[in-house]
Amino acid sequence: MMGLPGGCLMIVLKANKKRKAMTISREELKERLAQLPRLQLASLPTPLEELKRLSAHLAGPQIWVKRDDLTGLAFGGNKIREFEYQIAQAVEQGYDVLVHSAAAQSNQSRQTAAVAAKLGLSAVVVGRDDAHAQTQGNLLLTHLFGAEVDLPAPEEQAQAVAAKMAALTAAGHRPFHTSSDARIFRSVAYVDGALELLAQCEEQGVAPAAIYLCSGAHTHVGLVVAFKALGVDMRVVGISPSPRDDREAAEGHLALARECAAVLGLDLSLKVEDFESYAAFVGPDYGVVTPEGREALHLLAQQEGLLLDPSYTSKAMAGLLAHVRAGWWRSEQSLIFLHTGGTPALFAYAKDLGY
């Protein structure tokens, strides 16, 4: 795993640890972000749109969607925003191969391959021969972007990734794994994303009580760090796409948040309770369509013409819908749903969705 490159750390505050952490202005936070290397990959800002028909259908709070599925490159998604900061580290340090390994229909594999193509780098994807390994959706796009693709059996994937990284290094290449190398800069990217969102909320007169998102780690962490740094009172409600213990997930997010804050020289009082994440909507496993996710996917498509994906955003929306129906939120409140993308996977899930 890469460490933080020299020159990228901001000034770390060294005052008495007992003093209370202070908030900073948006302008100061922007200045700190501006000192970091950054690529221009995404079409920003992404829209903030009101979901009027969905809100009326639920007879609950006003629901808005932040369209990070529209970041532009390679059918968009949150990773394109994150890669502006993360892969900037690879470019700065002369890495020449972008590597990723996950499920056959991985959104991040697709986006890794696309960014490599745009930057003139090589891409290697070590997926796995799972239930959705047909050449469709994200896997088709990964091939189209020119990546070298290998799909070993799931139990052989970890060994195959290690072997490929070693072989690339032995051949004189410098491979950069987009899941692990300089990973904290993916959280940093959503500190910037939070600034963009807050400006849009002010422009449109939206005062959200909470923002919902599918929470793996980095997008969630970046939002919390930004809101803490700015003194913004907004709940960030994460819905996990994978089975995990909610408390352990929060502890992991806390560790990442402290690392992210250190990169930006932020003196924050962070605690595990700041990270709200629920694994109750995962279903049997990652990537398995649930009845609640299927209902959310159909509801958004038919009420708003808005497409969700089967593994991430449909489950996050299922969580939001369940909380609204359970009375978590009043009708006069507003909620934002952060759409993190992933829709190309739909084309590999027709049977799972009942078609």
Q: How far is Cα 217 from Cα 241, in angstroms, rounded to an integer?
A: 10
Catalytic one of 55, 101, 106, 334? 106
Fill in the DSSP letter of residue 104: T
Phi, psi of 162 (to 5 degrees): -60, -40
Which residues, 6 or more positions from 221, have their beta carbon under 8 angstroms from its beta carbon? 187, 190, 253, 256, 257, 260, 275
Backbone conformation region of residue 104, classed left if phi is above 0, alpha if psi is from -120 to 50, else beta: alpha
Q: Pairing state of beta strands 235-239 and 148-150? A: unpaired
Q: Report d(CA 82, CA 126) in Å as an integer.
A: 21
Sheet holding 148-150: strands in order across?
A: 148-150, 122-126, 97-100, 175-177
What is d(CA 196, CA 241) in angstroms, rounded to the nearest whole number? Answer: 25
Neighbours of 166 (CB within 10 A): 11
Residues 6+ apart with CB under 8 A from 283: 289, 290, 292, 293, 315
Indicate if the alpha-carbon torsion angle 310, 241, 325, 77 is positive or negative: negative
- The answer to whether the beta carbons of residues 83 and 95 sit under 8 Å apart is no
**Residue at token pair 């948040």:** 257
Task: State how far the Cα of 333 lies from the Cα of 220, in Å rounded to an integer.
Answer: 21
d(CA 283, CA 159): 28
Query: Is-catalytic flag, 106?
Result: yes
Active site residues: 106
